[in-house]
Amino acid sequence: MRRHPVDITPLTFLDYPKKAACIFWYTGCNLRCPYCYNPELVLGRTKSQVDELAFLKERSGFLDAVVLSGGEITLTPQLKDICEDIKALGYLIKIDTNGSNPHIVRELVENKLIDYVAMDNKMPSDRTWRLPGGTPLFERFAESLSILKESGLPFEVRTTVHPGLLEESDIIRMIREANALSYTGTYYLQYFFNAGTTLGNMAPPTRRYDRDMLNRHAPLPIGYRNFPEDRGKG
């Protein structure tokens, strides 16, 4: 049966580069990141269903793009059909993914159903998490990255950072690893967002990152998002 999003963010200018977008939120994920601030979505506890196509028809001419997020969007059944329906209404599509399902990324790319991808890199390869079934996540991430690189689509690699999980040396290693896989774009670091309950009940960070060190040793430009020292700046 066709899965509908459980919620919609009706307007954002932050989640799709230079576009007015909405976000569709889907349930389910194959990871359990301790910092995840969407436990209800990840654990599938939210049962509501939204008529996303009716929403898009009403917004025609006001929105440029749709961000498909979650949860892990590549686990959503019939994702190709969902994208085809959104495309038929004239919208650009971005997906947020943890990179764990390269075959789905490939299917969407080959059918020209996505226009932008934000892909997470979770951990350095020697500390990588394993997917259900035992496959190291990093292997899948590397494969997804290779597909995106070959596709010529605009995409970004990003990491959610919390000093309790990732030291500066870990982050530098991750950026080097992405660069060694031919990623040459800006590498985004998203500071842990403490909006209340997280999957692993992460405590707030107790220190700030040494950004001079990160900038000095990373082989790619770094984009900093939501860092405490930047909040309140224009």
Contacts to ligand SF4 by CB under 6 A: 29, 31-33, 36, 38, 42, 70-72, 98, 199
Minimum CB–partner distance for residue 119 and ligand SF4 (Å): 11
- Which is closer to ligand SF4, CB of 70 or CB of 124? 70
Query: In the bound complex, what is the minimum distance in angstroms from residue 36's beta carbon to ligand SF4?
Result: 3
Residue 97 pairs in a beta bridge with 119
Region of 213 (left: φ > 0; alpha: ψ -120 to 50; beta: rest) is: alpha
* Angle (CA) 105 160 26, round 5°: 50
The residues near 53 (Cβ < 8 Å, ≥ 6 apart) are: 85, 86, 89
- Kindly tell me which of 70 and 109 has the beta carbon lying closer to ligand SF4: 70
- How near is the Cβ of 134 to ligand SF4 at its closest, in Å? 17
* Listed residue (19, 20, 24, 27) closest to 9, CA to CA: 24
At closest approach, how far in Å is the CB of 143 from ligand SF4? Answer: 17
Quick one: 59 or 159, whose CB is closer to ligand SF4? 159
Residue 174 CB partners (closer than 8 Å, separation 6+): 121, 123, 124, 159, 166
Give the tokens for residue 160: 């959610």
- Beta strand pairing call for 155-161 and 187-191: parallel
Q: How far is the CB of 158 from ligand SF4 (least distance, A)?
A: 11
* Least distance CB 99 / ligand SF4 (angstroms): 9
Nearer to ligand SF4, 59 or 72 (CB): 72
Asked, as a colleague might, if the bond just before 71 is cis with ω within 30 of 0, I would say: yes
Q: How far is the CB of 70 from ligand SF4 (least distance, A)?
A: 6
Nearer to ligand SF4, 56 or 137 (CB): 137
Q: How many residues does the chain have?
A: 234
Q: Which is nearer to ligand SF4, 83 or 165 (CB)?
A: 165
E strands, 76-202, where?
92-97, 116-120, 155-161, 187-191
Question: Could you tell me how many helices (H) and strands (E) the chain has, helices first?
Answer: 7, 8
- Which residue lies nearer to ligand SF4 by CB, 56 or 171? 171
